[in-house]
Structure 1
Amino acid sequence: MSEDPAPPYTAVERHAMFPTPSHDEAARFDFLANFNKYLSGTIGAGNARAYETRVLPAIEREQGRLPADRFEIRRAMNKDPWHRFWSGLKRNSMEMRQQNGRQMVLRQIDALDAKASSFNANKATLELDPSVDVPRYQRAVDIHCMPGSYHGEERPGDVSAGANYDSGLFATTAGGLGALSDGGGQALVDWIRRERPGWSPRRILDLGSTIGHNIVPLALAFPDTEVVAIDTAAPSLRYGHARAQALGAINLRFVQMNAEDMARFPDGHFDWVQTTMYLHELSGTALPRVIREGFRVLAPGGLMLHLEQPQYSDAMPLYEQFIRDWDAFNNNEPFWSAMHALDLKGIMHDAGFARDSLFVTGVRAVVDESIFPRQDEGAEDHGRAAVWNAYGAWKSA
């Protein structure tokens, strides 16, 4: 492989809740991390060459015009042998990642559940509500090919889904999110300190938190702030709460709740409402509801911020839109394509934000680059690259 190797799995920080890998399990994750780098770099570059030398000329010859949209490119590229080869390897790498993580977790599920129970016992900072239903749009598929998705249980009350998710983020991102896979959360801390030096929000709300890896850095950066993370998936919340406690984020509360209906929170309760790579998990009807509820619970003068991949626009080449769409059709991300074509600014304006308060800015994962080198921005693994767009707004006072 021509790429610089990804950091070894031993560079992942072993907080007290992290599953303990065997030699072979760590070796498999090391292989997968480097395999993913190879797929997004050397092998991925062949997609552009196949498009430029074979697929695009064929479309122009047969249709007498340029491709109409990213879907026409996808249909044509799906017939190309190089893209089929790359796509098959990429899908298989995700399945192998899930198999290895699940094997590692189930081998030690008794110990993991016991540790989680110890961290979670009698803690007011974990609020589970069995009456909360996991929405159909999250139950319909195993997101990221993860068996049972974020809410699946091997047995009642376990933490297997959260532990599996945490253990494999390193391999999926080739280490691009750092030792704790919290590069997104660290980026939020870095951004707000530059944007509003000295600002200390009273309350922060994180929507779709899963295991809380992106909100723990904020809780640690603002120890006097009440931080609330909500999700519908109880297994992820159990694990995430125990993980946060192990990392010292004792001001972080995990609550089982659907972000479409946050009636228990009064109007204007939070100074900061945010998500990290969550909006693309929402259906087209759920997303505007979540934005509206987020606006309602946001205090005047407060911040709403969403980290996501860039939205598709006329300025983004159709080929790039097609490549970014891969996860929607091959990695059990059914709303990815439609969500990235939405007018997020329009949806936020409809929710109540003034148009002149809306902004978009670039955000890069903050990691120790001496251990986790900066990823090649030219690689084609756009869906999981550690660079995001932040879509935000300050609510009028």
Structure 2
Amino acid sequence: MATLAETARPNSTHYGHAVMPQATHDEQALEDHFLAMRMWTNQKMDPLDRRLLDEVIVPEVTAKTGKAPTRSTEVRNALENHPLHQYWLTLSLFYQDRIWQALDGAIDRQYDELAGKVAEQAANPKGSLRLNPDLVMPRYISSIDHHRMAGGYITDTSDADFRAGALYDRFASTYLRNLNGGWKNDGRGHTLASHVQGFFPDFKPKRILDLGCAVGHSTVAIAQAFPDAEVYALDVGAPMLRYGHARAESMGVAIHFSQQDAEHTDFEDGSFDLVCSSATLHETSAKGMRQIFKESHRLLRSGGIMCHVDVPPRHEHLSLWDQMRCDFESHYNNEPFMTSLARTDWMKVATDAGFAADKVAVGYRKGSYFLNPNTEDFFTEGHPEGRTLMGSWYACAAVKD
């Protein structure tokens, strides 16, 4: 049987670390086809769908109700009854599902070889891996396959299963190609580290905890930004953690992974100098988010810092179509808390968790793929250039008294 090196296309964008699934020429071509479909939809269909809403649906709703709509909920039914929008919806789901399917088949082909590589990387670890087979999964994780990823984050078929992690890693590097830090998919981690370093330039954390780490995309970046710190990371998905541990080891980064619920960890009070998360909160729930902020407060020492970075949409700052685009994630892309998070008052959640209001900063942070601490990249009303390729993230940083 051919090895990964023999079957992967030369100069593939997916060469990154020892355990990442690779693509044959034909697999790569299939991925590129559906990525091109995604780009065509974004460039050609999004503007048409926006015009449909602004020039057809809004006037119709205004004529019927006597007032112009300001919330996506007021136009959703009329918009979804229109054939053009139905076409947009179909395309938006189709190309994503087909990328998942293509990658799933590629992992099937090389699963045994990858299993050997995962085991090899975990054999003499710099970090550690601690699993809990008795962990009770939060319902917002166990009841849905986030991102329409078949099986979700927690499907575990054996004591050595890593499939969910491999699929998630490979999808992220493909779907977000060149958009979030390249094959490492670590743009959010660099953004979070830059945010902390920009606001707290003298901060030298000794112990860091990353909540909802998945396969450690952001965790590795955070560890590299604070090389003198002992770094811990947790997630509920055992296959994500097995793969994430092997991934970090293959990259030479010591991280201590454990299978835990971010709402209720087993670490002692005041255990960490920095407690953080990146793109985790929108996959929880309103109750879960609030408990995670409270747990962050409990885990921090006095003077410690909490920093959570997540998807940027704020409904009060979005056009009607952009509100709808955000709602799409909740209604169709298995991200049920996305819409609610866009309307959540993060400042209130932080103060309710125990942080003093004058020690909390909430707003948009321009994405940083390289460490570039700069408080001028922080905005309370959104990035002035809009949602560009460099993007922006919504960030909450707070200091515990």
How far is 1:126 from its partner? 0.6
Per-residue CA deviations over 1:233-269 (Å, capped at 9, x if unaligned) read: 000000000000111112x11010111111x212111
Q: Residues 386 and 170 from structure 1, CA distance in 2 versus in 1: closer, same or farther, beyond 3 angstroms?
A: farther
Shift of residue 165, structure 1, vs aligned partner: 0.5
How does the TM-score come out when normalised to structure 1? Answer: 0.89
The residue number in structure 1 matching 2:273 is 271
8 Å CA contact 1:207–1:274 kept in 2: the answer is yes
CA contact (8 A) 2:192 2:278 kept: no
Structure 1 stretch displaced more, 302-311 or 87-96: 302-311
1:384-395 equivalences under 5 Å are 386-395=391-400
Q: Count residues in correspondence.
A: 376
Structure 1 vs Structure 2: percent identity of aligned residues? Answer: 33
Distance 1:62 1:174, change over 3 A: farther
After superposition, the Cα gap between the structure-2 partners of 1:223 and 1:92, relative to the gap in structure 1 and judged at 3 Å, is same
User: Is the counterpart of residue 96 in structure 1 residue 65 in structure 2?
Assistant: no
Aligned partner of 1:140 among 143, 153, 159: 143
Measured after TM superposition, the shift of residue 116 of structure 1 is 1.2
Query: Where does residue 261 of structure 1 map in the other structure?
Result: 264
Alpha-carbon distance between aligned partners in 1 of 2:394 and 2:316, rounded to the nearest angstrom: 17
SS in structure 1 of the partner of residue 286 of structure 2: coil
Measured in 1, the distance between the counterparts of 2:39 and 2:392 equals 15
For residues 111-134 of structure 1, what are the alpha-carbon distances to aligned partners after superposition, in whole Å with 9 as ceiling and x for unaligned? Answer: 112211122236461111111122
Give me the whole-angstrom Cα distance separating, in 2, the residues matched to 1:310 and 1:267.
Answer: 31
Q: 1:313, CA displacement in angstroms? A: 4.5
Structure 1, unaligned stretches of length 5 or more? 1-7, 369-376
1:338 CA displacement: 1.7
Counterpart AA for 2:191: A
3-state SS of paired residue (1:285): helix
Higher mean C-alpha displacement, 291-300 vs 308-317: 308-317
Classify the secondary structure of the residue corresponding to 2:170: helix
- The alpha carbon displacement at 1:36 in A equals 2.2
How far apart are residue 174 of structure 1 and its match? 3.9
Change (3 A) 1:104 1:324: same
Deviations 1:194-248 (A, max 9, x none): 3333532011111100000011011122222111110010000000000001111
Q: Distance in 2 between matches of 1:362 and 1:13?
A: 32
- Which residue number corresponds to residue 372 of structure 1? none
- CA distance, structure 2, for counterparts of residue 213 and residue 198 of structure 1: 25
Using structure 2 for the length normalisation, give the TM-score. Answer: 0.88
Residues 112 and 182 (structure 1 numbering): CA distance in 2 closer, same or farther, change over 3 Å?
same
Q: What is residue 342 of structure 2 aligned with on the other side? A: 340
Q: 5+ residue gaps in structure 2? A: 1-9, 371-384
1:151 is matched with: 154
Deviation at residue 385 of structure 1 after TM alignment: 8.0
**Match status 1:320 vs 2:333:** no
1:172 is matched with: 175
Deviation at 1:44, TM superposition (A): 1.0
Match of 1:235 in 2: 239
* Residues 175, 205 of structure 1: alpha-carbon distance in 2 compared, 3 angstrom cutoff: same
Residues 285, 207 of structure 1: CA spacing in aligned structure 2 closer, same or farther, 3 A cutoff? same
| Match of residue 50 from structure 2 | 48
- Counterpart CA distance in 2 for 1:203 and 1:216 is 14
Partner of 1:119: 121
Q: Is the CA contact 2:282–2:311 (under 8 Å) kept in the aligned structure 1? A: no
| Deviation of 1:287 (Å) | 1.6
Match of residue 186 from structure 1: 190
Q: Which residue of 1 aligns with 2:209?
A: 205
Measure the CA separation in 2 of the matches of 1:33 and 1:228: 34
Question: Judging changes above 3 Å, is the alpha-carbon distance between structure 1 residues 135 and 269 closer, same or farther for their aligned structure 2 residues?
Answer: same
Q: Relative to structure 1, is the Cα distance of residues 326 and 9 closer, same or farther in structure 2, using a 3 angstrom cutoff?
A: farther
CA distance in structure 1 between the aligned counterparts of 2:30 and 2:301, rounded to whole angstroms: 47
